[in-house]
Each structure stands twice: as structure tokens, then as C-alpha cells.
Amino acid sequence: MLTKKKIPQSTVWRLSQYLNCLSLLSSEKCREISSHELAERVGVKSTQIRQDFHYFGGFGQPGCRYNVGQLIGELEAILGLDKPQNMIIVGAGNIGQALAHYDKFEPLGFRLKGIFDVNPRLFGLKIRGVGVRDVKELPRFVKDHHIRIGIITTPARVAQSVADLLVRIKIKGIWNFSPMNVTAPEGVSMVNENLSVGLMTLSHKIKGG
């Protein structure tokens, strides 16, 4: 049962981690797990897990075992992964091509439909069956293919104008990889990816944290 309570960003981050871990367990035919075991695998306290699970209803007794499949279903629903979502990439440079090659998004229901660039030499290049097109075709394409998510992998200097275009053509969410914070008006969801965070986490661990 989903509650209407707003979930803080760092809880969403942990829920994503739990889902990754549980999906791996499920592929290894594991059917049940305790909050203690899950905590150990993800690297959080088991009290934290039980607290996080309160966001979606009646779980959370210490010591009880969870059904892995059911937990995956609950987490997918809360993270909006219960329906497939179409997406495009704008910017066919290194990061754009790397994301197009990445095959871990599809099992979560994210379907890459198109890649766009301004460089004519890249037009027609295919990555895992998805072609690179002229960015001029973007508005029509987004409408015709029911695109909900736009991933920005352009240089920093054009990132905001690409975001503005995506907002105008009524995209629902923007995932920005350009090394510049991009803003969107209310009604369009926005995640500015910051690659430095992983490196800072590693640095903290090396320090003995």
C-alpha cells in the first residue's frame, strides 16, 4: 500500500539501492531475506531499512523475513517503475554513447528510442539498434514516440537551452549529465547527475570511514 507521504531524496536513493540488491538476489533464486541481511549487503543499518520500509505500509517488524518478489514489486511501484517509459538521449558524444550502450536500464522498464545530435557525421550511427538523428527532428519524434524522459549529455554551454527545448515539447523528466546544473520549471522533474559524488564516497572510505 502506497502512502502519500513525501519521501526524502536520500531515502529514494536507498530504496534504489535496495531494489538493485533484491533484483540481484532474485536472479540468484533467493526468495526471502531479513532486514539484517539486506542491511549488510547494502551497507546501511537494519533499523534504517525498517524505517525506510514504513514509507510503503505495514512492513518493518524486527527479525521478520521479507518476500523478495513482493518487496521488488513494492519498490518498483514506489519508484514509478511499474510501467515502461520511453526516453531519448540528446548529445551523442562519449557519455551519450556510453549510456546508449549501457544495458541495465531496460530491465527497469526504461526504453531508449532515439539519440540526437547536431553533428551530421554522427547521423545514422546505430547503437544497439537505436539511430542517431538530427536534433531538428526532436520535437516531432518526442510527440510521435510518447517520450517521457530526456537525457542531456551535451557540452555544458548548451545544456540549459536543450533543457528549455525539452520543457517546451512537454517532456516529463530530465536527467542531466552535462557538468552544469540545469533548471526546469515546476511540473518537469529534474535530476542533475553529479559524477563526483561516487568519487567522494570512495575517498571517504579510503580515509577509513
What's the grid cell of residue 81? 517503475
In one-letter notation, the amino acid at residue 39 is A
Size of the site for its own copies (CB under 8 A): 64
Please give the Cα distance from 164 to 89 (Å, whole number): 15
End-to-end CA distance of the chain: 36
Q: How far is the CB of 186 from its own copies (least distance, A)?
A: 12
Q: How far is the CB of 167 from its own copies (least distance, A)?
A: 14
Helix (H/G/I), strand (E/B), else coil: 43: coil
Which of 20/34 has CB closer to its own copies?
20
Among 1, 103, 120, 157, binds its own copies (CB under 8 A): 103
What's the grid cell of residue 42? 547494502
Contact string 168-207 vs its own copies (x = CB under 8 A): ----xxxx---x-x-------xxx-xxxxxxxxxxxxxxx
Contact string 10-39 vs its own copies (x = CB under 8 A): x-xxxxxx-xx---x---------------
Pairing mode, strands 85-90 and 147-152:
parallel
Please give the Cα distance from 158 to 176 (Å, whole number): 12
Within 13 Å and on the Cβ side, how many CA atoms surround 107? 9
The residues of the shown chain that bind its own copies, judged by CB under 8 A, are 6-10, 12-17, 19-20, 24, 42-45, 48, 78-81, 85, 93-95, 97-99, 101-105, 108, 110, 148-149, 172-175, 179, 181, 189-191, 193-207, 209
